[in-house]
Chains A and B, each alone.
Chain A
């Protein structure tokens, strides 16, 4: 069975929010839209986003890491949001594993958002229905789009290519290879939700310099180590 997912490379994510607003612009006029904004030009503006970037610090100065952490629905293989839905609005597609909400069936009871341990669901406060990432289902399955564009909007937008997209059940897919080779991990696997989305950890490149690398025979200073004799006394003048 196909299980589509995002694999997010924290090693290159610079926290630019391209995924956040490219998602918003695609989806607000798309199948899963609109994505409403409340107080768009007033105090405390807030709205529905399917994807957000959280930034946090690890460690204490000067040994501090700043981590940008994009987060959206993880399209769990055992999604806790689905069985709790009283109307069947929340469902997981059998053909590609994408978890979706049917707004026509949703009554806005928010059980699913309580069940989701990741805080990935956002209720549309105007329409009173639950909304969330669809992996751009209306892009990835749209045969009228060129092949290159049949990816989630965030994946196409991401300037650092930090977002990989593919089938985590296909061992040869780009995402499976990345998870395998880069130590890709799931969020809170202990909950048994089997999130399809994975994260790739930070990696450090360090440089080791051996002391003898600093003193080489081809040191250009050797071409300049001349002295000038200006008549001062030397041992040569005074010792036998």
Chain B
């Protein structure tokens, strides 16, 4: 061999380096794609990128194997005439044929009843465009994956603090002293959190992980606190109880920046019981949270306008106003509520000893109080008080699906927001910090349509498909209070379902409840497998027919890059490109990649030509929008407005002349404007020259306290990020929830829920946090099904995204059920045995592994490693289908029939968040005579037209020669 010292990679072949943005998960790191003779030599992290600072993860490093996978789709496909849906009998067609089919079908639907078209998408990061397309088409039946992912985390915190975790905000580990991670699936999010966590630990920060399972990030925690699934709310209530009881809260912060001291009407006989007492004073038109509320002033012992200079309000007590109205400060109500939630109460629920709960509270409270950070940054608050510094209480939290994916998740996450608030950590150094465009009003301004009249033929939807209800009038229901969306979002069943309920779309469409639809377009959402609950039955619904032979869901269009399980059920398949083959934007209108210090957005640019006839879904939508003559895509003369997606991105403005478009950077004719400015024809070029990322660092005085930072809020308004420069007071007490509760109690002057839902709405729309057992626990026999079953996401695999990846699948080709040896002992099986996992809804057979790193009442597995036979370009006998398994088969998408309804979603009653983690199971040994194979099995999906032929036994990837072999 040549001496390696005399060898240089640069001498081998034609070398090119192109910068773009990763998409091996939703983290969106900057990458450099190194090419050799036009093939990917390697992909590494872009050292100049603000997100990943040069590092890259296991998935990002394996992009090569995604690009060159034999699972790729390469041609548009049509189900063969006469072939049954689900049998994967397809014929290749041209794009023109595909577009003609869609144009004909969709223009008819749009002219007759636009809601018969439904568009639902996966973890796609292009919701600004897909949402625009749906609105322009005129259908309300649109959502992305948020409803089954983590909408509780978004809604629970945004309705409390005006921001949330991940894209919206996060823990400031650079300055935190104590970091508490609770209910976080590892790798959520990925590289930025890994970077921050390791630096935090190196600085001597203390890291506590609260999780039923100790893997991933929890492995390096200084302390692991195992907890029973679904009981995080009880723990957080008890911790907050202890903090309130000992006076470890930040009084000054609560008074100035939250509604703690604001007076609430306290007279259950009155219709305005539980609402803030509103004084008569000037209120700005359209203001989302008017400041016309009162404090009880200490010295004058009477009411006074909030934030009156020099006033010092009472946080506790009970008072009577001059007009006889009995009132209490919100904090008093909070304190009364929390009195019952002692550590001793929480201990048997959570499985955490009361002393541990108390110690956790003490660590948080004492660290927040005694290790204060003061940064010498001048800022001015919304009440014109000048501050010489920014103060921080360095306790940071991070949380995700472990809290969110339960039917009590919304209130649990509200409790977390309240804990973070009483500790005084919101948008302060060392605590939680927002990322632009957050903070936003509580709740943000966009609203869903308000009634059936919002949907009209050949007309854009009146309202946004997804919005933020603030009162019953914002719901999308008819005069009877019944749902108007196919997923029943924004109905009384799930009033604050701000991300929709994608997990119920197929079941509802199949049942024709609330109405049948015609065409369902799914974009990279694997609804016939890991993205559905009750997968086995959902697959049957997809092929179920009316007695006349018509499919119950008449037309199914699937756009994906790979031959996923869902592709098999399509009537029309649209082959998407890989992330290395297209333009893409990580837009401020959607979920950008902002940092704590200011807005950041990013783009992808093609570094390779599309494989076969693959076409980016973005371009498909632009083409369809143009053919259907949707107003946003059409010129006044009826002609096509945008050539293609890149042209659209540069030239589209939210309204003519608004200056707001998909990309925030290099706006204006010469590219010198930020966030707002006229279109810049050279915008793509400028992104490409700058690593495909735009980072606007705010002045230091705008980087903290943004809910109440006058300078920041006016800057944000001037740059089109926010409508009002009003203070975003934290909702310790949620008046928004109380409005819905009053409606359920018959005290609201406007809309009220249908009778069957009154009790449900009254119970769960509690303006103060409370704990309740997950809904499924209330409805199934928990003695027969004593265990909680969960999934975790491994760091080397993003959901179902990479079983087609030859390298990543070697790390996770199949999954086990992990459980405590005690479960095996009690049920007579051993480590490695084949077992059945049975829930009240179904059962799966799998292999088990004993683990000491799991709470003994919990069993768990890696999410979406199990695949259907033959899918994703794998052989029919691949480990993924023979040894791997999918837990979804045992999770129901609907609750057992109960007083509130026959077909309620298995979801949070406030937000419609899929309650994946509520499922209860029992585990027992499979019979020795049973096949050593996971169950259920499905007939193998064949190779599709246009898919590469089977690869051989050996594969050696060498860039420059691989595809030429």
Q: A residues bordering B, Cβ < 8 Å?
A: 11-18, 20-22, 24-26, 28-47, 49, 55, 57, 59-62, 64-68, 95, 100, 102-104, 126, 134, 137-139, 141-145, 148, 153, 156-162, 202, 204-207, 209, 213-216, 219-224, 226, 228
Contacts of B9 in A (CB 8 A): 30, 138-139, 142, 144-145
B579-602 vs A, Cβ < 8 Å mask (1 yes, 0 no): 000000000000000000000000
Provide the bound-state CA to CA distance between A61 and B227, in Å. Answer: 12
| B806 near A37: Cβ-Cβ < 8 Å | yes
| B879 near A43: Cβ-Cβ < 8 Å | yes
A151 to chain B, nearest CB (A): 11
| A141 near B5: Cβ-Cβ < 8 Å | yes
Contacts of B133 in A (CB 8 A): none
| B54 near A28: Cβ-Cβ < 8 Å | no
Provide the bound-state CA to CA distance between A46 and B205, in Å. Answer: 39
Provide the bound-state CA to CA distance between A141 and B6, in Å. Answer: 8
Provide the bound-state CA to CA distance between A148 and B44, in Å. Answer: 13
**Interface residue from A15, A31, A61, A202 paired with B216 (Cβ < 8 Å):** A15
* B218 lies within 8 A of chain A by Cβ: yes
**Residue with the greatest number of chain B CB neighbours at <10 A, chosen from A20, A36, A148, A159:** A159
Contacts of B59 in A (CB 8 A): 21
**Interface residue from B226, B808, B811 paired with A62 (Cβ < 8 Å):** B226
* B375 lies within 8 A of chain A by Cβ: no
Number of A-B contacts (CB under 8 A): 278
Q: Which secondary structure dominates chain A's binding surface?
A: loop
Contacts of B219 in A (CB 8 A): 14-15, 55, 65-68
B34-65 vs A, Cβ < 8 Å mask (1 yes, 0 no): 00100001111101000010111111111010
6 new A-B contacts at CB < 8 Å, known A20-B811, A35-B957, A62-B224: A14-B186, A16-B216, A42-B875, A61-B852, A64-B853, A214-B362
| B813 near A224: Cβ-Cβ < 8 Å | no
Contacts of B56 in A (CB 8 A): 18, 22, 157, 159
Given contacts A61-B852, A220-B249, contact A228 B960 (CB under 8 A): no
B247-286 vs A, Cβ < 8 Å mask (1 yes, 0 no): 1111100000000000000000000000000000000000
A110 to chain B, nearest CB (A): 19
B177-195 vs A, Cβ < 8 Å mask (1 yes, 0 no): 0100000001100110011
What size tier do the contact residues of chain B reach? 35 or more
| A138 near B370: Cβ-Cβ < 8 Å | no
Beta-carbon nearest neighbor of B11 in chain A? A144
Contacts of B656 in A (CB 8 A): none
Beta-carbon nearest neighbor of B873 in chain A? A41
| A14 near B366: Cβ-Cβ < 8 Å | no
Given contacts A21-B807, A40-B951, A157-B56, contact A31 B4 (CB under 8 A): yes
Q: B residues bordering A, Cβ < 8 Å?
A: 1-2, 4-5, 7-11, 36, 41-45, 47, 52, 54-62, 64, 70-71, 178, 186-187, 190-191, 194-195, 197-199, 201-202, 204-207, 214-220, 222-224, 226, 246-251, 298, 314-318, 359, 362-363, 366-367, 369-370, 795-796, 804, 806-811, 813, 820, 851-856, 873-875, 877-879, 882, 950-951, 953-960
| B813 near A207: Cβ-Cβ < 8 Å | no
| A35 near B222: Cβ-Cβ < 8 Å | no
| A38 near B954: Cβ-Cβ < 8 Å | yes
Beta-carbon nearest neighbor of B874 in chain A? A41
| A17 near B58: Cβ-Cβ < 8 Å | yes
Provide the bound-state CA to CA distance between A39 and B876, in Å. Answer: 12
| B958 near A29: Cβ-Cβ < 8 Å | yes
Provide the bound-state CA to CA distance between A21 and B224, in Å. Answer: 29
Given contacts A22-B56, A66-B215, contact A224 B62 (CB under 8 A): no
Provide the bound-state CA to CA distance between A41 and B852, in Å. Answer: 33
B241 to chain A, nearest CB (A): 14
B252 to chain A, nearest CB (A): 8
Contacts of B950 in A (CB 8 A): 41
| B878 near A159: Cβ-Cβ < 8 Å | no
| B191 near A159: Cβ-Cβ < 8 Å | yes
| B795 near A16: Cβ-Cβ < 8 Å | yes
Contacts of B5 in A (CB 8 A): 95, 137, 141
Contacts of B216 in A (CB 8 A): 14-16
| B58 near A21: Cβ-Cβ < 8 Å | yes
**Can you identify 9 A-B contacts, CB atoms within 8 angstroms?**
A21-B62, A31-B7, A36-B956, A61-B820, A137-B4, A138-B7, A138-B9, A224-B317, A226-B316
| A209 near B362: Cβ-Cβ < 8 Å | yes
B166 to chain A, nearest CB (A): 16
| A214 near B246: Cβ-Cβ < 8 Å | yes
B658 to chain A, nearest CB (A): 39
Provide the bound-state CA to CA distance between A22 and B877, in Å. Answer: 28
Beta-carbon nearest neighbor of B10 in chain A? A144
| A38 near B36: Cβ-Cβ < 8 Å | no
**Interface residue from B42, B201, B316 paired with A11 (Cβ < 8 Å):** B201
| B810 near A12: Cβ-Cβ < 8 Å | no
B91 to chain A, nearest CB (A): 24
Provide the bound-state CA to CA distance between A148 and B10, in Å. Answer: 16
Beta-carbon nearest neighbor of B954 in chain A? A126
Contacts of A47 in B (CB 8 A): 806-807, 810
| B61 near A34: Cβ-Cβ < 8 Å | no
Provide the bound-state CA to CA distance between A44 and B809, in Å. Answer: 10
Provide the bound-state CA to CA distance between A28 and B64, in Å. Answer: 11
| A12 near B202: Cβ-Cβ < 8 Å | yes
Given contacts A205-B222, A224-B317, contact A39 B953 (CB under 8 A): yes
**Interface residue from B58, B363, B853, B951 paired with A209 (Cβ < 8 Å):** B363
Contacts of B359 in A (CB 8 A): 209
| B198 near A18: Cβ-Cβ < 8 Å | no
B368 to chain A, nearest CB (A): 12
A181 to chain B, nearest CB (A): 12
Provide the bound-state CA to CA distance between A15 and B315, in Å. Answer: 47
| A17 near B795: Cβ-Cβ < 8 Å | yes
| A29 near B42: Cβ-Cβ < 8 Å | yes
Provide the bound-state CA to CA distance between A30 and B795, in Å. Answer: 26
| A16 near B187: Cβ-Cβ < 8 Å | yes
Contacts of B873 in A (CB 8 A): 41
Contacts of A138 in B (CB 8 A): 4, 7-9
Contacts of B190 in A (CB 8 A): 16, 159
B841 to chain A, nearest CB (A): 29
| B7 near A34: Cβ-Cβ < 8 Å | no
| A142 near B8: Cβ-Cβ < 8 Å | yes
Contacts of A219 in B (CB 8 A): 246-247
Provide the bound-state CA to CA distance between A41 and B57, in Å. Answer: 22
B329 to chain A, nearest CB (A): 9
**Interface residue from A11, A44, A205 paired with B879 (Cβ < 8 Å):** A44
Contacts of A213 in B (CB 8 A): 362, 366, 370
B548 to chain A, nearest CB (A): 41
Contacts of B204 in A (CB 8 A): 205
Provide the bound-state CA to CA distance between A15 and B878, in Å. Answer: 25
Provide the bound-state CA to CA distance between A128 and B50, in Å. Answer: 44
Contacts of B194 in A (CB 8 A): 14, 16, 159-160
| B956 near A126: Cβ-Cβ < 8 Å | yes
Provide the bound-state CA to CA distance between A134 and B44, in Å. Answer: 19
Beta-carbon nearest neighbor of A39 in chain B? B953
Contacts of A95 in B (CB 8 A): 5
Provide the bound-state CA to CA distance between A57 and B853, in Å. Answer: 7
| A24 near B875: Cβ-Cβ < 8 Å | no
B709 to chain A, nearest CB (A): 24
| B852 near A159: Cβ-Cβ < 8 Å | no
Please name the 4 residue pairs, one residue from A and one from B, whose CB atoms are nearest each other, closest first.
A220-B251, A160-B198, A159-B194, A17-B58
A206 to chain B, nearest CB (A): 7
Given contacts A29-B960, A224-B314, contact A42 B61 (CB under 8 A): no
Beta-carbon nearest neighbor of A225 in chain B? B316
| B877 near A17: Cβ-Cβ < 8 Å | no
Contacts of A26 in B (CB 8 A): 42
Provide the bound-state CA to CA distance between A206 and B124, in Å. Answer: 41
| A141 near B4: Cβ-Cβ < 8 Å | yes
| B852 near A60: Cβ-Cβ < 8 Å | yes
Contacts of B199 in A (CB 8 A): 161
Provide the bound-state CA to CA distance between A148 and B806, in Å. Answer: 30
Beta-carbon nearest neighbor of A142 in chain B? B8
